[in-house]
A and B are shown apart, each in its own frame.
Chain A
Amino acid sequence: MKHLKAIIASIALFAMFAGTAVQAKVEIQWWHAFGGRLGELLDEQVNKFNASQNKYTVVHTRKGNYSETLNAGIAAFRAGQHPNILMVFEVGTASLMAAKGAYVPMYQLMKDAGQKFNPNGFVSAVSGYYTTTDGKMLSMPYNSSTPVLWVNKDLMKKAGLDPEMDLSTWKRVGNALDAAKAKGIDMPFCTCWHSWVHLENFSAYHNIPFATKANGFAGLDTELSFNSPVHIKHIQTLGKWAQEGKFKYMGRRNEAGKNFRAGECMLMTESSAGYAGIKKEAKFEFGIRHLPYYGATEAPQNTIIGGSSLWALSGKSKEENKATAAFLAFLSKTDIQAKWHQDTGYLGVTTAAAKKTKSSGFYKANPGTDLAGIQMMRNKVTQNSKGLRLGSFDQIRGIIDEEMEGVYNGTKTAQVALDSAVKRGNVLLRRFERANK
């Protein structure tokens, strides 16, 4: 009995000390959307930060896909249970920006914490997305990618095609698909992120507006405009390919990536960040190409980013904000960024990281990995190719996906579907404008 008391006492004592030891470190929460290979790489970054100093601990939690993470963050904010750092994909940017008071702007956070932070160190095509019109950076770019064309060279050979053939225009891609279909290839073409690749990036790439008011950058009273003849032509082409069995629809997000990695799909349009998974799983020779365009227009403009940025949510103590600032500054370090870029296929978001990667000879050793960066920065950006800033955009993407499904399954023409998507989307934009006046 005496022993037992002694044991309990010592356990209690130990727990007390252990408790204070833990409390001495400031713990902050980071909610994100990365699983699989990307999740492992993210975990590695967090561990590196936690081991690099002894004042702060970052705890990361995966909250599901991008939309689920954003929604979990918003719901938690309403309940006052939100994390310090929330990963928000580019689509949610306008919603966050409009919610003044829900976040601590990045420039402010860094200034308050006394962190050295140079917003000009970021590639402008990326940071422009997260910066106000008067040049204040609101969130920290984390992962940014742009769509490219992925090629399964083995299937190209099987289709009797030269795996190095010119695939720069959709017309040439169409010819390749015809040949593949004729040779009995089951899935000549597939794509991820339909709206992002085939409407949003398509618009920027062809230098036509996706929405009025500089794609929403110039005001909340923007209206969608992706039902122009060029857009319709492209979506109609996709619909035709779907009807002819050359394009297989696998889902709205990146479901098709599975088919490509399994060696079933010959050509796939997907984010450059598909690299991490493809490199790990593909048992065939693959290639990376620029996103195709329509030769009828002039040489392509640039593509825009997808991916996420990290927002420091408000309502946290000064100590915790300091920890957040320290962690975000750590993430923007050149070696961390360069490694992330090389491992994942996301763009090097700081110029220093891109330079370091180039000088290390990585692009030479892994041909094609530099294409995404080139494609994004090939021209001076125009009003149409700067990016998108539209409210309720996750929901609008849902509408676009629905309407495009109608085109793929043959119940709607591209004209009808895109007109309807524009009309339905505009209703939501007006509602967003009203709620955020």
Chain B
Amino acid sequence: MEKRVFFKGWWLPALLVAPQLLISFVFFFYPSGQAIWNSLFLPDPFGLKTEFVGLDNFRFLLSDPYYLASFKTTVIFSTAVSVSSMALGLYLAALADRLIKGAGVYQTLLIWPYAIAPAIAGVLWLFMFNGNIGLASYYLKALGYEWNHTLKGDQAMFLVILASSWGRISYNFLFFLAGLQAIPKSIIEAAAIDGASFWKRFGTIVIPLLSPITFFLLVVNVVYAFFDTFGVIHTITSGGPEQSTTILVYKVFSDGFVSQDLGSSAAQSVILLVLVGILTVIQFKYIERKVHY
């Protein structure tokens, strides 16, 4: 049933894939190669001299308890961001899908936060929870709750999760809404006539039909939580207090660009590269099997 196009000769297909190959090479293979190469050296910050150290950078990293702790931090952070933003996105989409009047207005407003860059979102939330001038921290204090995310790790973690999920809810909302609207009304109505309650219909019809989108969003959100939340963490906590919000990608940055330890930073990039590779394979091998298209 598949449609296939066959090209005669080799130059036309080569020409057509060339741009993609070029982009992959320039933006992926070349930097990755550089990272792997650099991870074997211990350079000084100014790049004036460098020493070949073999796998010492990796040994150094894996014996650092804070590096190992940052794996755990990353898992907690990514899970919390993905699950909370997807659950809320789905909830809001289910509500907006049932709207009769003013649907456009609600939808637009709900999508709005997605347009805000992570760093700006970080600053916004930071302002609200700032110990000196923040409104949220002021009201929390009035309620008798001491807010100080510069000192308390769990509060800092909560705040970065909140700020990272916030814009993401819009993104997930958008996709879930599109998914919900693509489900034929007739199926839902048929189930309703058979006497299935709203929750029954949601659980047995809507969720399975949404599974391709949910899977897609899971992959995208995990990638987002791993890499794109850098701006939020940098603006709100800079990885503190006591590295309690230092996720792997932030550690790459802080060791490389704050501490100027480029060898260790490169080694971390390599580990991250391998990790994300494994994660992607797992997702497509095992989770995708459970998805109905």
Identify the A interface with B (CB < 8 A).
67, 71, 74-75, 77-78, 95, 98-102, 248-252, 255, 258-259, 262, 392, 394-395, 398, 401-403, 405-406, 408-409, 411, 424, 427, 431, 434-436
Asked if residues B48 and A102 are in contact (CB atoms below 8 Å), the reply is yes
- Nearest CB of chain B from residue A265's CB, rounded to whole Å: 11
Q: How far is the CA of A86 from the CA of B44 in the complex (A)?
A: 18
Q: How far is the CA of A427 from the CA of B241 in the complex (A)?
A: 21
Asked if residues A98 and B44 are in contact (CB atoms below 8 Å), the reply is yes
Q: Given A71-B258, A402-B242, does the pair A435, B60 have CB atoms closer than 8 Å?
A: no
Residues in A neighbouring B2, C-beta threshold 8 A: none
Contact of B131 with A by CB under 8 A: yes
Q: How far is the CA of A424 from the CA of B257 in the complex (A)?
A: 19
Total number of B residues with any Cβ neighbor in A under 8 Å: 28
How many A-B contacts are there with CB distance less than 8 Å? 81
Asked if residues A77 and B42 are in contact (CB atoms below 8 Å), the reply is no
Q: How far is the CA of A98 from the CA of B43 in the complex (A)?
A: 13
Q: Which residue of B lies closest to A403 (CB)?
A: B242
Main secondary structure of the interface of B (DSSP, over half): loop
- Nearest CB of chain A from residue B59's CB, rounded to whole Å: 12
Residues in B neighbouring A248, C-beta threshold 8 A: 148
Contact of B259 with A by CB under 8 A: yes
Asked if residues A249 and B44 are in contact (CB atoms below 8 Å), the reply is no
Q: Which residue of A lies closest to B60 (CB)?
A: A431
Contact of B194 with A by CB under 8 A: no
Residues in A neighbouring B107, C-beta threshold 8 A: none
Residues in B neighbouring A427, C-beta threshold 8 A: 60, 64
Contact of B184 with A by CB under 8 A: no
Which 7 pairs from chain A and chain B are nearest by CB?
Answer: A395-B259, A405-B241, A99-B46, A102-B46, A78-B47, A402-B242, A249-B151
Residues in A neighbouring B150, C-beta threshold 8 A: 249-252, 255, 405
Task: Identify which of B42, B44, B48, B258 gathers the most chain A CB atoms within 10 Å of its CB.
Answer: B44
Residues in B neighbouring A249, C-beta threshold 8 A: 148, 150-151
Contact of B72 with A by CB under 8 A: no
Q: How far is the CA of A98 from the CA of B48 in the complex (A)?
A: 10
Asked if residues A99 and B241 are in contact (CB atoms below 8 Å), the reply is no
Asked if residues B151 and A95 are in contact (CB atoms below 8 Å), the reply is no
- Nearest CB of chain B from residue A245's CB, rounded to whole Å: 9
Contact of B151 among A75, A78, A409 (CB under 8 A): A409
Q: Given A77-B46, A251-B150, A402-B241, does the pair A71, B257 have CB atoms closer than 8 Å?
A: yes
Task: Identify which of A255, A395, A403, A405 gathers the most chain B CB atoms within 10 Å of its CB.
Answer: A405
Contact of B79 with A by CB under 8 A: no
- Nearest CB of chain A from residue B57's CB, rounded to whole Å: 10
Q: Given A71-B258, A78-B46, A392-B259, does the pair A250, B132 have CB atoms closer than 8 Å?
A: yes
Asked if residues A431 and B241 are in contact (CB atoms below 8 Å), the reply is no
Contact of A74 among B45, B152, B254 (CB under 8 A): B45
What are 24 contact pairs spanning A and B, CB under 8 A? A71-B257, A74-B260, A77-B47, A78-B46, A98-B44, A99-B44, A99-B46, A101-B46, A102-B46, A249-B151, A251-B150, A252-B150, A258-B132, A395-B258, A401-B240, A402-B242, A402-B243, A405-B151, A405-B240, A409-B241, A431-B60, A435-B43, A435-B51, A436-B44
Which of B58-114 touch A at CB < 8 Å? 60, 64, 66
Residues in B neighbouring A395, C-beta threshold 8 A: 258-259, 261
- Nearest CB of chain B from residue A381's CB, rounded to whole Å: 29
Residues in A neighbouring B47, C-beta threshold 8 A: 77-78
- Nearest CB of chain A from residue B77's CB, rounded to whole Å: 18
Q: How far is the CA of A71 from the CA of B256 in the complex (A)?
A: 10
Q: How far is the CA of A435 from the CA of B51 in the complex (A)?
A: 7
Residues in B neighbouring A394, C-beta threshold 8 A: 258-259
- Nearest CB of chain B from residue A420's CB, rounded to whole Å: 9
Residues in B neighbouring A402, C-beta threshold 8 A: 240-243
Residues in B neighbouring A101, C-beta threshold 8 A: 46, 48
- Nearest CB of chain B from residue A86's CB, rounded to whole Å: 11
Residues in A neighbouring B153, C-beta threshold 8 A: 409
- Nearest CB of chain B from residue A198's CB, rounded to whole Å: 15
Q: 17 other contacts beyond A102-B48, A249-B150, A398-B259, with CB at 8 A cut-off?
A: A74-B45, A77-B46, A78-B46, A249-B151, A252-B150, A255-B132, A259-B132, A392-B259, A398-B258, A405-B151, A406-B242, A408-B151, A409-B151, A409-B241, A411-B242, A434-B51, A436-B44
Q: Given A250-B150, A252-B240, A405-B151, does the pair A95, B260 have CB atoms closer than 8 Å?
A: yes
Q: How far is the CA of A408 from the CA of B152 in the complex (A)?
A: 9
- Nearest CB of chain A from residue B234's CB, rounded to whole Å: 11
- Nearest CB of chain A from residue B195's CB, rounded to whole Å: 56
Residues in B neighbouring A95, C-beta threshold 8 A: 45, 260
Contact of B42 among A262, A408, A411, A435 (CB under 8 A): A435
Task: Identify which of B47, B242, B258 gathers the most chain A CB atoms within 10 Å of its CB.
Answer: B242
Q: How far is the CA of A252 from the CA of B243 in the complex (A)?
A: 13
Q: How far is the CA of A394 from the CA of B258 in the complex (A)?
A: 8
Asked if residues A431 and B261 are in contact (CB atoms below 8 Å), the reply is yes
- Nearest CB of chain A from residue B61's CB, rounded to whole Å: 11
Contact of B132 among A71, A99, A262, A398 (CB under 8 A): A262
- Nearest CB of chain A from residue B271's CB, rounded to whole Å: 18
Q: Which residue of B lies closest to A436 (CB)?
A: B44
Q: Which residue of B lies closest to A96 (CB)?
A: B46
Asked if residues A434 and B48 are in contact (CB atoms below 8 Å), the reply is no
- Nearest CB of chain A from residue B142's CB, rounded to whole Å: 13
Q: How far is the CA of A427 from the CA of B59 in the complex (A)?
A: 13
Q: Which residue of B lies closest to A424 (CB)?
A: B66
- Nearest CB of chain B from residue A267's CB, rounded to whole Å: 18
Residues in B neighbouring A78, C-beta threshold 8 A: 46-47
Residues in A neighbouring B42, C-beta threshold 8 A: 431, 434-435
- Nearest CB of chain B from residue A54's CB, rounded to whole Å: 34
Q: Which residue of A lies closest to B259 (CB)?
A: A395
Q: Which residue of B lies closest to A264 (CB)?
A: B132
Q: Which residue of A lies closest to B148 (CB)?
A: A249
Q: Which residue of B lies closest to A100 (CB)?
A: B48
Residues in B neighbouring A408, C-beta threshold 8 A: 151
Q: How far is the CA of A398 from the CA of B132 in the complex (A)?
A: 23
Asked if residues B131 and A250 are in contact (CB atoms below 8 Å), the reply is yes
Q: How far is the CA of A101 from the CA of B43 in the complex (A)?
A: 15
Residues in A neighbouring B152, C-beta threshold 8 A: 409
Q: Which residue of B lies closest to A71 (CB)?
A: B257
Task: Identify which of B46, B132, B241, B258 gathers the most chain A CB atoms within 10 Å of its CB.
Answer: B46
